[in-house]
Amino acid sequence: MDALTLLLTRQSAHTLQAPGPDAAQLDVILRAALRVPDFQNLKPFEFLVAEGEGRERLGALMQQAAVASNRPEENIARAPKMPLRAPLVIVVVARARESKVAPLFDQQLAAGCAVMAMQMAAFAQGFAGVWRSGWPMHDENLSRLLGLGKLDRIVGFLYLGSATKPYPPLPTPDPAAFTRHL
């Protein structure tokens, strides 16, 4: 798949199944993340990979966080099942690096770019995925349970696997609707 086709056809898939990326394919996905724009080359990110039983461990941590954060009962009940919706889940963390030049926000943007690069690399290898957020991304208790520092931030959960159904037709928004020329 050429680069422009990839950029213009990528879609998210919300229902995923096995197979997911194998070790070699995951390596390519992670290498793509390490190529994102990164002011000062700080590599201000960390990738927490959950596959197999790791997804259950992640779900248990999500449930612990939901309880500790007094989330609604439906969140508590649903939390352990959330990572089981895909064969592979990558928690992408913006890991704050000390810098006199690169602000924290720039570092968080680099981590966000890493999520997109990983999703693109997975799509280019024939996999489907979705970048999820939701309450766990913003939950301080989950961050603590994952061993994150006070300035670290989860920027997304990348769910990867194989699509369970064909992609719907792509919408074709007009770029002019989102563009102003100065």
Read off the pLDDT of residues 2-18 as tens digits, 9 standing for 90 and up: 999 999 999 999 999 99
Residue 104 within any structural domain of the chain: yes
Measured CA to CA, the distance from residue 122 to residue 29 in angstroms comes to 6
Binding-site annotation: residue ranges for FMN: 10-12, 35, 131-133
Which of 1 and 97 is assigned the larger pLDDT?
97
Residue 77 within any structural domain of the chain: no
pTM for the full predicted model: 0.95
Residue 57 within any structural domain of the chain: no
The pLDDT, as a whole number, for residue 1 is: 82
Residue 170 within any structural domain of the chain: no
Whether pLDDT at 170 is above 90: no
Provide the residue range defining the domain that includes 119.
Answer: 12-51+85-165
The pLDDT, as a whole number, for residue 62 is: 98
Q: Cβ-count burial of 182 within 10 angstroms (0-12 exposed, 13-18 middle, 19+ buried)?
A: exposed
Whether pLDDT at 132 is above 90: yes
Which tokens is 133 given? Answer: 């957020």
Residue 147 within any structural domain of the chain: yes
Residue 29 within any structural domain of the chain: yes
Cβ contacts of 66 within 8 Å, gap of 6 or more: 75, 76, 79, 135, 139
Provide the CATH number for the domain around residue 35: 3.40.109.10
pLDDT band at 106 (very low <50, low <70, confident <90, very high): very high
The pLDDT, as a whole number, for residue 31 is: 98
Average pLDDT of the chain to the nearest whole number: 96
**Contact yes or no for 6/122 (Cβ under 8 A):** no
Residue 95 within any structural domain of the chain: yes
Angle, CA 101 vertex, CA 95 and CA 103 arms, to 5°: 45
Binding-site annotation: residue ranges: 10-12, 35, 131-133
Residue 42 within any structural domain of the chain: yes
Q: Into how many domains does the chain fold?
A: 1
